[in-house]
Amino acid sequence: MKFVTDYLERAAEKNPEQVAVVDEQGQMTYGQLLAEAEAVGAALSAAEVPMAPVMVWMDRVGGSIAASQGAVLSGRAYTTVDTAMPGRRLRYIMEALQPSAIIAGRDFVERAAEQSAKAGLKLQPRILIYEDITAGAPAPEALAALEQAKARRDPLDDLALIFTSGSTGVPKGVVASHLTLTAFTDWQVEVLHLDENTVRGCQSPLYLAVGAYVDLYSTFAVGGTLHLLPPSAFMFPQTLMEVLSERGINTIFWVASLYRRVVEMEGLAVKNLPPLRTACFCGEPMPMSSLEEWRKAFPEVTFSNHYGCTEVIVATWFEIVPGRELAYDSMPIGRECTGKNTVSLLTEEGDEAAVGELGEVVVYGPIAKGYLNDEERTKAAFGVDEATGRTFFRTGDLARRDEDGVIFYVSRGDAQIKHMGYRIELGEIETAANAVEGVSASVCLYHKEKDALTLFYVAADELAEKELVSELTENLPRYMWPARFCRLAAMPQLEGGKIDRLALQAQL
């Protein structure tokens, strides 16, 4: 496929009555979804809205997806915003984006206008009310304008912008092209064996990469059904399992911390488990003990670990075949996505790391185009290989390959510290802690002024702290021993489900 909207158009043509999206308000067929997307695209094209990004300001519903796809049909990039986002962050995103239009649900028009007026925008964006522009069929001249706009598109055009948290506290706008997304989607459909019977349960918000990219396009590519699961379902894991079962969910792509939480809160103990066939996890290392509980509950399910970030989506993966024992103490991130991208582990000197040697993960292939209006950060992380002409992204993550070529994540590069005269990867301490039976999650942080290591951990009641200390002192050199252990009932989490390390840092 050349453009991501090709997936939607193909599915609507093949089976217009097939349910495409299910949300808290109802459902939309592929025919309905495409019709509303075309109405949005026609409205943008007929109104001669400037060719600049469009903001989608709606609830997490099928209409939000139709709005984003309508912007793409018209040749414009889009970004979906969190309607509950604080005003200051919203205004920063608006100032970076300089949107030409805002597609807003009726309930959000007033706030969209208010924040637009407060933001430092060169031109005020045109606010189009979704319910109004999709109420009837577009005029013939509007549809003609849309067709002309579609004909001018290029696969390397900006497609979507996702704003991620930056290390400075300022959000980074990651710019993806059609090629970025179609390369990933086609790869995922092939390796996960997705088909028209795929019923996918989406955990992620639509303004984060998993929801906007991973779940959405791979479902549309096969004409499956995407369920936008209500956030309330994730509060109680047993209820979550019941919801999945009731809806016939057979495919999930969730952060590893959610799998862990389901185990900790006995979500797998429900009577009727969902008909899963494919279960993927990402975002953080999966505790081996949690994975084993899921494999016991779903012995026929294929699990897989997916490593990546918004800039590359997925760079490596590791498949766990049903019935086959894992020969590793910690979860590998696996091998590169063959046919989509390649991965190198580069030393500080720029050489390929030897077997067992630490190196930075560098991804080559169809990746994001860079950071919106941020040339300095783009140059620091993105580049073009002179020998091959392929674009690459430096992830800042450190990893090792074993003798079989399997890659193991170690830590963030900025998690490398100097303690007691030794260079330490905090991720190695976390890996050792997670390998202790009973530990379901751990984070090791360093207090520079005190020159001390603190291990935050979540563990089963029967695991005494002295047992954890004993295991670590037996398996780690003295200079890697934490000075302080802090047991938590649960790890603080960010909105996407990852551990909130800044919240833990504040406890040091």
pLDDT in tens, 71-116: 999 999 999 998 888 788 888 899 999 999 999 999 999 999 999 9
More confident residue, 86 or 176: 176
For 11-34, write each residue's pLDDT tens digit. Answer: 999 999 999 999 999 999 999 999
DSSP letters for 331-342: ---BEE-TTT-E
* Assigned CATH topology for domain 229-410: Rossmann fold (3.40.50)
Residues 6 or more apart whose CB falls under 8 angstroms from that of 163 comprise 79, 93, 96, 171, 172, 173, 174, 207
Within 13 Å and on the Cβ side, how many CA atoms surround 493?
Answer: 17
For residues 95 and 121, the answer to whether their CB atoms sit within 8 Å is yes
One fold for 30-177 and 229-410:
yes
Name the residue with tokens 């004993």: 470
Domain locations in the chain as residue ranges: 30-177, 229-410, 420-505
pLDDT tens by residue, 45-63: 998 888 999 999 999 999 9
Helix runs in 160-297, H state only = 178-191, 209, 216-222, 237-247, 256-264, 288-297
Q: Which residue has the higher pLDDT, 48 or 281?
A: 281
Task: Write out pLDDT tens, residues 231-249.
Answer: 889 989 999 999 999 999 9
How many angstroms separate the Cα of 231 from the Cα of each of 30, 201, 227, 268? 24, 12, 12, 19
pLDDT of residue 166: 54
CATH class as words, domain 420-505: alpha beta
CATH classification (class only), 30-177: alpha beta
**DSSP character for 212?**
I
d(C-alpha 186, C-alpha 453), whole Å: 44
**Stretch (H or E) spanning 46:** helix 30-46
Check: CB of residue 44 under 8 Å from CB of residue 74.
yes
Inform me whether the pLDDT recorded for 422 exceeds 70. Answer: no
| CB distance 104 to 58 below 8 Å | yes
**pLDDT: which is higher, 223 or 505:** 223
User: Residue 263 in contact with residue 286, Cβ under 8 Å?
Assistant: no
